[in-house]
Chains A and B, each alone.
Chain A
Amino acid sequence: MTEFAALAQLTVVAMVPYLLASLGTMLGGLTGVFSVSQEGVMLLGAAIGFLVSYGTGSTTIGILLAAGTGAVFGAALGWATTVLRLDQFVVGLALFFAATGLAGLLYRIVIGQGATTPRVDTLPRLEIPLLSDVPVLGTALFSHNVLVYLAALLAVAAWFFLYRTRAGLDLRSVGENPKAADSLGIPVVRNRLWTATVGGALMAVAGAYLPLVYTGTYTDSIVGGRGWLAIALTFFGGWRPQFIVLGALFFAAMDVVALRAEVAGIDIPSQVLLVVPYVATLLVMVFAFRWAKVPEFLGRNYDRESRTA
C-alpha cells in the first residue's frame, strides 16, 4: 500500500510539466493560435528558471522570470500570426529554434563551457495540514511542492472559465469561427494575443519545473520530448482541461513505470521501457484523432477584410 502511495505521488509530481504545457497549448489553441514551439520554450524556461534560481537563490524569482520569458515568446507568436498574419507553423518553428538556441547560449554564458554542472535546491514539499495525514491519498495528493497545487487549481479554473462562463463562451468562439465572433464585437486579435501570451508563459513554467523540482540541474536534453508530447496530449484531450488532466496523468504514469521498472531491475532492455511513452502516444493518437474535437479555426489566421474567407 505504501509502495502504491509512493508511485501515485511520483505520478502526480511527474504530471505537472505535461499539464502546464498542455494547458498553455490549449489556451492559445482555443482562440485559434496553434503553437509548435513548446519544446523550445520549455527548454528556455528550464534554462532561465535554473539560472535565475542559481544566481539569486530564489526558486520563485526563477519561475517568475521563466514565465515572463515564455510570455514574450507567446506574445511574439500571437503578434506575428495576428497582426502580421504569418504562417503559424513556420513562426512556431522559428521561435522553437530561437528559444532552443537562447537556452543553450544563456547557460554557457552564465555557467561557462566547463564540465562541472552546478545544482540548485529543488522546491520543498508543502504538506497540507490534516489532509496529508490521510493514508495513501494524503501521500499521493496532499504532500507536494506548491506548483503541483497551482497546476491543479489552474486546470479547474481554466475549465470553469472556458466552459462555464459567458466570457469563456465568447473566447472559444474566436477559435471556432473568428468571423462570427468579430461580427458580434468580440475582439479576435486581442483574445488571440493574450491567450498566446499566457500559453507561452505556462509552457515556460512547465519547463522551469523540470530543473527546479525534478533534477536540480540543467542539461540541453532536459525536456526530452515533453513539449511535443504536450501537443499530442492537447489533441487527444479534446482541448478540454478535464481530459487533459487525465492524459497528463497517463503520460506521467508512463514515465514513472519506465523509471521504476529500470530501478527494480526487471529483465527488459531499458530502451524498450524508455520508448513506451512515445509508442503509447502514437497508438493513442490513432484512436484519439477520430473522436477528439478540435477548434474549427485552429492554426488558421483571420483577416477581417479578406474577401475569400
Chain B
Amino acid sequence: MSGATAVGPAGGAAPGRDRPLTMSGISKSFGPVRALTDADLQLATGEVHGLVGGNGAGKTTLMNVLYGLYRADSGEIRVDGREAHIRSPRDAIALGIGMVHQHLLQVSSYTVLENVVLGTSAGSGGLRGAARRITELSDRFGLAVDPRARTDRLSVGARQRVEILKVLYRGARVLVLDEPTTNLTPQEVDGLFASLRGIVAEGTSVVFISHKAREVLAICDRISVMRDGRRIATVPRSATDATGLASLMVGELVGEQTSEVAAALGVGAVGEVPAALPAGQRRPDAGRVRLSVSGVTADNDHGVPALRGLGLEVRAGEVVGVAGVAGNGQVELAEVLAGVRPVRAGSVAVDGTDLAGAPTRRWLSTGVAYVPEDRHRDGILGAGTVADNLLLGAQRRADNRRAGLIDWRRVREHARDTIERYSIKTPGPDALAGNLSGGNIQRLVLARAFDREPAVLVLQNPTRGLDLRSTRFVYDRVHEARDRGCAVVLVSEDLDELSLLADRMVVLYSGEVVGERARGDYDVYELGRLMAGVREDA
C-alpha cells in the first residue's frame, strides 16, 4: 500500500480504469442459510453507487465478501479489470478497497490518530507525519476531527468521520459505507453527503449501502437494488423515484400495505408526517397516567451520569416515542424504565406505585414489560429451548408450578399455544431459541412480554434488523398494546418509525428531555436540531 497519495488522480488511461470494480456470480451460504445467490455489482469511476434492499437482502454480506471478511463460496471479483483474490481485509486494503462498517470498528481506548494508523506500520514514517496527513485529509473533505482525541470521548458522528479518514488514509479508490446514516442527525447526514461529493470528485468510487430510499435518492448517481441475495436491478438516479425504488425493493408486497411498507423503508416520510389519525381511533389524552417518571438520574455502565433529572409521563392507551441520536441516554432510559438499571435519584411510578430501587422482579410483577434492543444479547437464552425462553421470568408463577416443581408439561403446552398464536417459525417448544431467525426471536420476546399483560410496555429499536413482515407484526402488536390501555414507551433511532407509531414524541439529548412534540407538529429538521442539542429557547 503506498502512502503517497490519498486519493488517486481522476485522469489516466490505464486499462479497466473506467471499471474500478466488477463483482460477478458471488454466492455465499452460512450453514443452511443462503445469503447470496449469484450476486453481481459493477462500479464506475467517481460515482456514488447506492446499494439498497430490505434487511437480509444481502447488501452487507456482498460487501463483506468484497472486503475479505467473508469468503465467498463462488464468484469472481475484478479490480481495474484484473481478477483479484481477496482472502482477507489485508488483500482488500492492498487493492485500494476500504469499508466503513455499520458498527464502528475502533479501539475505543486509542486516540483518533492511533486508530487511523493502526495496521499501517510497515514502511511508515513517524506519528507526527501521520497526524499531519490526517489533518490535511480532514480539511480537504470536511471531515472535522481532532487527531489527538480519545475515540471513546467522541460523538457517533465524529467517530464515523474517523472511519472514513481511516479508509482515505490508506489511499482507497473504492469506499464502501454500510448504513452510515443510522445514528446521525439530519444535519450530520447533510455534512456526510457533502464530504462524499468531495471524495468522488477526486476519482474515488463510493458504495453507499442503505435501506432508506430517501437518502439513496439524495446522494447516489446510480442505484443497485438487491433482494433475496441477488442484484435485481440497477437504475440511474434520474430514472427513478421513491415509489419506483420501493416497489423494486419489496417486490410483490407493495400494493396492499403501501403506506406502512413505505414508512418502514423511510420512503414516505420526506418531511410529510401523517398529521391526523383516521377517525374512530382512540384519544390518547383520555387515559389516566400509568407511567410517571420524575427527576430520574442514572449512570451508564462506566459510572458516568447518563440521565440527568429526566421526567416523563405516559397515559393509558398512549404511545410516546423517544427520539435522539444514539448515546444520549436512550439505552439507560429504557433500562431504567424496565427496572434493570438502578436510579441515583428520582422516582418511576407505575400505576401510582414508586418502583425506584425495587428489584427487577417487582417491576415485572407490577406490570412492566421490556423489549430490549439487542434481542440476541439481552432477549433470549440462546442455549435454552423456546419453552425455556417463554418461561423465563414467569418461573415462579403459581400456574407454572406443581408441588413446588416446575410443571414442564404445562409450560410446553403453553409454549405450543404461543408458537401458534404468534406464528413463531420453529419445529416446536423444544427447539433451541438460538437457532431462530431474528424476526422469530423478536416474536418470542414480544410473546413473553405480552404474556405478562403489561401496564407499561417499553420497546427499544424493536424493528432493527427485521424484515418487513416481522416489522409489520411488531407494529401490530404495539397497536394492540395501546388499544388494550397499555402505556407504551417506544425508544427508537428511526424517525420514520416514531412518526408512524408515536402519539407524542420527546427528544432526548445528553440525558435530558430537550423537547416535546405532538403528532404531526414537527418536521425532521426541527427534530434534528433538538437531537443535536440546540435548545428550544436558544
Q: Do A and B come from one complex?
A: yes
Tell me the complex Cα distance, A167–B114, Å.
11
Binding stretch for chain B, among A100-108, A204-212, A256-264, A301-309: A301-309
**Set of chain A residues within 8 Å of B127, measured between Cβ atoms:** 166
Tell me the complex Cα distance, A296–B105, Å.
13
Tell me the complex Cα distance, A307–B438, Å.
11
**Set of chain B residues within 8 Å of A187, measured between Cβ atoms:** 88, 90
B107 in the interface (beta carbon within 8 A) = yes
Decide if B30 touches A185 in the complex (CB within 8 Å): no
**Set of chain B residues within 8 Å of A177, measured between Cβ atoms:** 105-108
Q: In the complex, how many angstroms separate the beta carbon of B39 from the nearest chain A beta carbon? A: 17
Decide if A180 touches B107 in the complex (CB within 8 Å): yes
**Set of chain A residues within 8 Å of B107, measured between Cβ atoms:** 172-173, 176-177, 180-181, 296
**Set of chain B residues within 8 Å of A181, measured between Cβ atoms:** 107, 118-119
Q: In the complex, how many angstroms separate the beta carbon of B58 from the nearest chain A beta carbon? A: 12
**Set of chain A residues within 8 Å of B94, measured between Cβ atoms:** 185
Decide if A183 touches B101 in the complex (CB within 8 Å): yes
Tally of chain A residues near chain B (CB < 8 A): 24
Decide if B30 touches A169 in the complex (CB within 8 Å): no
B117 in the interface (beta carbon within 8 A) = yes
**Set of chain A residues within 8 Å of B376, measured between Cβ atoms:** 308
Decide if B109 touches A170 in the complex (CB within 8 Å): no
Decide if B121 touches A184 in the complex (CB within 8 Å): no
Decide if B121 touches A166 in the complex (CB within 8 Å): yes
**Set of chain B residues within 8 Å of A293, measured between Cβ atoms:** 109
Main secondary structure on chain B at its contact with chain A? loop
Encoded as 1 (CB less than 8 Å from any A CB) or 0, chain B from 97 to 124 comes to 0010100011111100011011111001
**Set of chain A residues within 8 Å of B119, measured between Cβ atoms:** 170, 173, 181, 184-186
A179 in the interface (beta carbon within 8 A) = yes
B488 in the interface (beta carbon within 8 A) = no
Decide if B106 touches A184 in the complex (CB within 8 Å): no
Size category of the binding interface on chain B = 20 to 34
Q: In the complex, how many angstroms separate the beta carbon of B482 from the nearest chain A beta carbon? A: 32
Q: Which residue of A lies closest to B61 (CB)?
A: A307
**Set of chain A residues within 8 Å of B109, measured between Cβ atoms:** 176, 293, 296
Q: Which residue of A lies closest to B166 (CB)?
A: A184
B89 in the interface (beta carbon within 8 A) = yes
**Set of chain A residues within 8 Å of B110, measured between Cβ atoms:** 169, 173, 176
**Set of chain A residues within 8 Å of B30, measured between Cβ atoms:** 305, 307
Tell me the complex Cα distance, A170–B121, Å.
8
Tell me the complex Cα distance, A182–B119, Å.
9
Decide if B105 touches A183 in the complex (CB within 8 Å): yes
Q: Which residue of A lies closest to B100 (CB)?
A: A183
| Complex partner residue of B114 from A169, A182, A183, A296, CB under 8 angstroms | A169
**Set of chain B residues within 8 Å of A179, measured between Cβ atoms:** 105
Decide if A183 touches B70 in the complex (CB within 8 Å): no
Which residues of B112-161 have CB atoms within 8 Å of chain A's CB atoms?
Answer: 114-115, 117-121, 124, 127
Which residues of A171-202 have CB atoms within 8 Å of chain B's CB atoms?
Answer: 172-173, 176-177, 179-187
Tell me the complex Cα distance, A180–B117, Å.
12
Decide if B93 touches A184 in the complex (CB within 8 Å): yes
Q: In the complex, how many angstroms separate the beta carbon of B415 from the nearest chain A beta carbon? A: 24
Q: In the complex, how many angstroms separate the beta carbon of A301 from the nearest chain B beta carbon? A: 16
Q: In the complex, how many angstroms separate the beta carbon of A48 from the nearest chain B beta carbon? A: 36
Decide if A304 touches B69 in the complex (CB within 8 Å): yes
**Set of chain A residues within 8 Å of B118, measured between Cβ atoms:** 169-170, 173, 180-181, 184, 186
Decide if B121 touches A183 in the complex (CB within 8 Å): no
Q: Which residue of A lies closest to B90 (CB)?
A: A185
Decide if A183 touches B117 in the complex (CB within 8 Å): no
Tell me the complex Cα distance, A46–B61, Å.
50
Interface centre among A177, A179, A184, A187 (most CB of B within 10 A): A184
Q: In the complex, how many angstroms separate the beta carbon of B375 from the nearest chain A beta carbon? A: 11
Given contacts A185-B90, A305-B70, contact A167 B105 (CB under 8 A): no
Q: Which residue of B lies closest to A169 (CB)?
A: B114
Interface centre among B70, B108, B121 (most CB of A within 10 A): B121
Q: Which residue of A lies closest to B127 (CB)?
A: A166
**Set of chain A residues within 8 Å of B121, measured between Cβ atoms:** 165-167, 169-170
Instruction: List, sorted by A's number, 15 A–B pairs whose CB atoms are closer than 8 Å.
Output: A166-B117, A166-B120, A166-B121, A172-B107, A173-B119, A176-B108, A176-B110, A180-B115, A181-B107, A181-B119, A184-B93, A185-B119, A296-B108, A305-B70, A308-B376
Chain A residues with CB under 8 Å of chain B are 165-167, 169-170, 172-173, 176-177, 179-187, 293, 296, 304-305, 307-308
New A-B pairs, 5, CB < 8 Å, besides A183-B67, A183-B105, A186-B119: A170-B118, A173-B118, A180-B105, A184-B93, A184-B119
| 9 A-B pairs with least C-beta separation | A185-B90, A166-B121, A184-B119, A180-B105, A176-B107, A186-B119, A173-B107, A177-B107, A185-B89
Chain B residues with CB under 8 Å of chain A are 30, 67, 69-71, 88-90, 93-94, 99, 101, 105-110, 114-115, 117-121, 124, 127, 166, 376
